[in-house]
Amino acid sequence: MALTLGLDLGGSSIKAGAVDPVTGQLVGPLDSIPTPVGATVADTQVALTELIARFPQCTGPVGLAFPSVVVRGITYSASNIDKGWIGCDAAAVLRAASGGRPSFVVNDADAAGVAEMRFGAGRGEKDCVMMVTFGTGIGSALFLNGQLWPNTELGHLEIDGIEAEHYASARVRTVEKLDWPAWCERVNKVLDRYHSLFWPDLFIVGGGVSERFEEYGSLLHTKVRIVPAGLRQAAGVVGAAMYAHENAAN
């Protein structure tokens, strides 16, 4: 099976890894490159080209987890990236950066959620599962019977007049220097609202901050189970590779 390259564009870095798309295993370490300041389309394409060139062993399709609404390869929103991405054919940008390889783009939280449902904390879960990623923004991925409802974008839901991601993202925690109890109080409020709208049976916490779940997990009080992402930081990369592999086969 050809190794598939998974990429995950975040606020500070673009991560990449060679993935066996059948087992979901990373083959070798993750690599990364800084996300260009402002993340314009042109600068991002240059960074992607450089990063992709470091993985000559990946001869399969290429997948990119991207922080935007993505429908059939077109990006339709731009909260924490340059507005030039709105209406952009992001799959074509990725194709150009990869020298014409089959290229697929998927929302970052959806990618992470797909990986978690197959290989991580959501494995075997049948009911309603909501993955929530905390990073520069807040991402969401909703599953019923293992099937994804894409582009749910719950980070933009307003809570007391403030978008959830402007209130409780990992970035807000850093910028406002919130300690764990103060940040978790906000996260509890956000998750409580999500619960009252969608009634998930399980929450999966993703994003870089999921690596530190032991430090704050006991402060999260949801009405249902809440667990950290099993694949931790690699979830987006693995999910992007799975998405590329599955779409290339169709």
d(CA 68, CA 55): 25
Shortest approach of ligand BGC to residue 154 CB, angstroms? Answer: 9
| Residues 202 and 227: beta-carbon distance below 8 Å | yes
Shortest approach of ligand BGC to residue 100 CB, angstroms? Answer: 27
Cβ distance to ligand BGC smaller for residue 61 or 236: 236
Q: Nearest residue to ligand BGC, using CB?
A: 137
Binding site for ligand BGC (CB under 6 A): 67-69, 77, 79-80, 107-109, 133, 135, 137, 139, 153, 155, 165
Cβ distance to ligand BGC smaller for residue 8 or 125: 8
Q: Residue 89, class by beta-carbon neighbours within 10 Å (0-12 exposed, 13-18 middle, 19+ buried)?
A: middle
Q: What is the 3-state secondary structure (H, E, C) of 176-244?
A: CCCCHHHHHHHHHHHHHHHHHHHCCCEEEEECHHHHHHHHHHHHCCCCCEEEECCCHHHHHHHHHHHHH
Shortest approach of ligand BGC to residue 1 CB, angstroms? Answer: 29
Cβ distance to ligand BGC smaller for residue 122 or 137: 137
Shortest approach of ligand BGC to residue 168 CB, angstroms? Answer: 12
Shortest approach of ligand BGC to residue 139 CB, angstroms? Answer: 3
Helix, strand, coil in percent for the chain, rounding step 5: 40, 25, 35
Cβ distance to ligand BGC smaller for residue 49 or 79: 79
Shortest approach of ligand BGC to residue 140 CB, angstroms? Answer: 7
Find the helix or strand (DSSP H, E) in which 117 lies.
helix 108-119
Find the helix or strand (DSSP H, E) in which 107 lies.
strand 103-107
